[in-house]
Each structure stands twice: as structure tokens, then as C-alpha cells.
Chain A
Amino acid sequence: GEDVEQSLFLSVREGDSSVINCTYTDSSSTYLYWYKQEPGAGLQLLTYIFSNMDMKQDQRLTVLLNKKDKHLSLRIADTQTGDSAIYFCAEIPTGFQKLVFGTGTRLL
């Protein structure tokens, strides 16, 4: 299967850390991605992680990958007003060309 699941909403206070979670069912994906969509705009690639890694840090962003549980998370440190957006996790399953998206999490 190619289902990617996310919770729909997450609310945090400015300055706190945000953790957005994602679960997927196809463990053969080579890369897993996080996209950000600001209001009225298209999707912007935030970061990605290769499947043989379990963590990747990029400034305020930390991506954690638990392949055993098929769980991906995005942590945003020191959350700011400008981080308000919808965050999508996505994968390209091995052997496929198409990107499979989660439903998106709206960060408030």
C-alpha cells in the first residue's frame, strides 16, 4: 500500500517546539520528504531524508525516521508566526515515479 497518514491540525505557542508526525505503509521508499505550503501558495520542499538515515538536522528543522515503525517526524524548534502553514510528508516508493502525499498537517 501507499497510504501516508498525518494528523490534520497542530497548535503550538510561539517559541515552543512543534513536532509533526507522519506514518507510511510502504517501507521501500528511498527518500522521504517534508513540504511546506503557505496560505494561497504552492508547495515548497523543506527538507528530505534518505531511507538509510535515522536523523537529519537543518537549522531549526530536525527530521527523525523510524523505519521499523514506518514513522517520520518533523521537529521545528522555536516555532515562529512565519511557520504557520500546512506541512505535507511525502514519499516516492521504490519503483514508482509518483510522489505520494500525506493529507497535510496545519500548524497554527
Chain B
Amino acid sequence: DTGVSQDPRHKITKRGQNVTFRCDPISEHNRLYWYRQTLGQGPEFLTYFQNEAQLEKSRLLSDRFSAERPKGSFSTLEIQRTEQGDSAMYLCASSKDSPRETQYFGPGTRLLVL
């Protein structure tokens, strides 16, 4: 399977704990996006990378959130001191160079903060 993969698929954690999610994009894709989606809403942009450079970060993104893409391949999204409001589906997508290119989404990581 050469699509976008995400790990883990599900995560249950207690409030205050740190969590880290991983995304492996399609191999030849340079752009990688992170989104958050809650029930009944569309995906909300969090941040994106062009190769290893993080080029844009949502103003809505708390400083508890950090993302990396150290070698321009896989990416990690870390949430520190999780809150119940962080419960959501975290989606990763990748695309080729142009922002107008199709984004291919991974299956998502569903986070539940108790």
C-alpha cells in the first residue's frame, strides 16, 4: 500500500498527558499537512510542511502543539498537556509540489482525552 499512513489509529489518554502521532506521506510528495476534524465539521488546517520546512501554522494552534518533519519524509505531531477539548480526529495529508495538487489523506488518528 503506497498511500498515506498514520499511527496509531486510535489513542486514549488522560488529561495532562503528552501524545505523539506519526504520519508517513506518499513517498514522492513534498508537501505534508496536518488537520484536526471534530464531529460534524470539516477538517481544520493546523500546519503544513514543504519538505522539512514548516511553512505555515494556524493561528488557532495552541503552543501545546508542535509538529516536525526532520528529514522531509515522515512527520510527527505532538500534543503536550492534553485537554479534553483536544479530542478529535487528526488527519494527515500529502501532495506534490504545487498547493493546487490533490491532497491524499491518511486514515487519521482518533484521539480521546479523558
A-B interaction: no
Chain A residues within 8 Å of B, Cβ to Cβ: none
